[in-house]
């Protein structure tokens, strides 16, 4: 399977699945992460049956990416980073966007209840 094409064509669906999974939990974490000069807020889901990792990364209010990590047949790990379109970004609930912005600004993770978006 060509995962790069799959991720590019189905990024919106993958983000929706990640959000549904994340927000259905009793609690979830938004982590702060970085690499050299770049930093981001991230929520992550692991699929045990496929041994994949799907994450939503926010690098700032204007840049969101879908991260997909997977192992190939030789057991080498590969990473795909797909920038989200404006439409895909707008599908991320505003409350979650604000929480991710806070994590990025504070450089500290947060643990939130899964139902925090249903609160007024």
Segment 67-112, tens digit of pLDDT: 999 988 898 999 999 999 999 999 999 999 999 999 999 999 999 9
Helix (H, G, I), strand (E, B) or coil at 45: strand
Domain boundaries, the chain: 3-106
Query: Measured between alpha carbons, how far is 40 from 81 in angstroms, rounded to an integer?
Result: 13
pLDDT tops 70 at residue 118: no
**With bands split at pLDDT 50, 70 and 90, how would you rate the model's confidence at 62?**
confident
Query: Measured between alpha carbons, how far is 119 from 23 in angstroms, rounded to an integer?
Result: 13
The two three-digit tokens of residue 61, written as one number: 């209010």
Q: Is the dihedral of CA 111, 42, 46, 75 positive or negative?
A: negative
Residue recorded with tokens 């993770």: 109
| pLDDT averaged over every residue in the chain | 91
């Amino acid at each position: 399977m060509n995962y790069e094409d799959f991720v590019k064509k189905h990024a919106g669906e993958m983000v929706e699945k990640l959000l549904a999974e994340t927000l259905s939990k009793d609690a979830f974490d938004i982590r702060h992460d970085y690499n050299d000069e770049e930093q981001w807020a991230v929520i992550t889901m692991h699929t045990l049956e496929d041994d994949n990792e799907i994450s939503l990364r926010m690098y700032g209010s204007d840049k969101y990416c879908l991260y997909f990590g997977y192992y190939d047949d030789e057991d080498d790990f590969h990473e795909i980073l797909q920038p989200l379109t404006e439409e895909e970004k707008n599908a991320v609930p505003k409350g979650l966007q604000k929480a991710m912005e806070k994590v990025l600004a504070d450089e500290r993770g947060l643990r939130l209840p899964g139902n925090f978006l249903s609160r007024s």
